[in-house]
């Protein structure tokens, strides 16, 4: 099966078609490893199994990616979360915004499967990153999510590992990856500490230059 193709729109330049051969969802990417381990312990208390290592990289089917405004899911207890997304196309990296939508019931028994059964929404607007990627002010980016009109997550990417480090760890773990690549880079703590199986999700990354990457999607469950 050939990789899916979809159009992305870089700020200030012409759109292009990307055909990712690999979709990676990185988990437990907190820069403070002690905080990451504390979060793992919290999740264990509600039955979520701990990862074998941190960070962890879930190698998922690229067909899960979608830029659509309507996102179908089969189960009731699913939820998303705002994430910075690295996209590599023609050897250059771009920053996008996406949601690692996940089945929260299945997550208690198999984290990888809980991610693999849900689509991965991705915004069409992206930002071309400098080369080297370390020149980008990652820590100044602010991430925000609203679910059904209520604030769900808010904070800067300073709490997450920087993209250069995360890419190095990815290639150490999985080896060389050729061609177009999409990697979800982790997320922020929830403002109220509990997952919300909401319907309307609004994602935003506020960039250092004053621009924003935004995406919104509507969850359609079952026969809706």
Which residues 6+ apart lie within 8 Å of 209 measured at CB?
Answer: none
Cα 143 to Cα 43: distance, rounded to the nearest angstrom: 22
- C-beta separation of 181 from 24 below 8 A: yes
The reported pTM is 0.95
Cα–Cα distance for residue pair 195/101, rounded to 1 Å = 11
The pLDDT tens digits of the residues spanning 70-81 come to: 999 999 999 999
3-state SS, residue 213: strand
- Domains assigned to the chain: 6-221 (3.90.850.10)
pLDDT of residue 223: 52
Ordered alpha helix ranges (H), 63-162: 111-116
Mean pLDDT of 180-203: 94
Instruction: Kindly report the number of other CB atoms within 10 A of residue 210's CB atom.
Output: 6
Non-local CB neighbours of 172 within 8 Å, separated by 6+ positions: none
Phi, psi (rounded to 5 degrees) for 68 = -70, 155
Percent of the chain scoring above 70 in pLDDT = 97
Question: Omega before 199 cis (within 30°)?
Answer: no
Check if the beta carbon of residue 5 is closer than 8 Å to that of residue 15: no
C-alpha count within 13 angstroms, C-beta hemisphere, residue 41: 6
Task: Output the pLDDT for position 49.
Answer: 81
Using CA atoms, how far apart are residues 32 and 171, in angstroms rounded to an integer?
Answer: 21
pLDDT-above-90 percentage for the chain: 82
């Amino acid at each position: 099966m050939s990789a899916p193709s979809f159009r992305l729109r870089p700020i200030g330049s012409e759109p292009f078609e990307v055909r990712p051969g690999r979709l990676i969802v990185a988990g437990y990417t907190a820069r403070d490893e002690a905080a990451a381990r504390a979060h793992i312990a919290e999740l264990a208390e509600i039955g979520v199994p701990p990862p074998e290592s941190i960070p962890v990289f879930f190698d998922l089917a690229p067909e899960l990616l979608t830029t659509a405004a309507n996102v179908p899911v089969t189960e009731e207890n699913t939820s998303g979360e705002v994430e910075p997304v690295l996209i590599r196309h023609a050897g250059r990296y771009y920053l996008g915004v996406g949601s690692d939508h996940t089945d929260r019931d299945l997550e208690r028994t198999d984290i990888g499967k809980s991610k693999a059964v849900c689509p991965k929404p991705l915004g069409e607007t992206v930002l071309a990153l400098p080369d080297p990627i370390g020149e980008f002010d990652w820590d100044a980016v602010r991430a925000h999510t609203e679910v059904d009109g209520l604030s769900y997550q808010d904070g800067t990417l300073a709490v997450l590992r920087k993209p250069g480090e995360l890419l190095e760890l990815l290639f150490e773990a999985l080896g060389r990856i050729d061609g177009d690549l999409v990697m979800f880079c982790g997320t922020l703590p929830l403002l109220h500490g509990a997952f919300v199986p909401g319907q309307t999700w609004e994602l935003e990354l506020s960039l250092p230059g004053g621009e924003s990457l935004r995406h919104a999607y509507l969850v359609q469950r079952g026969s809706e």
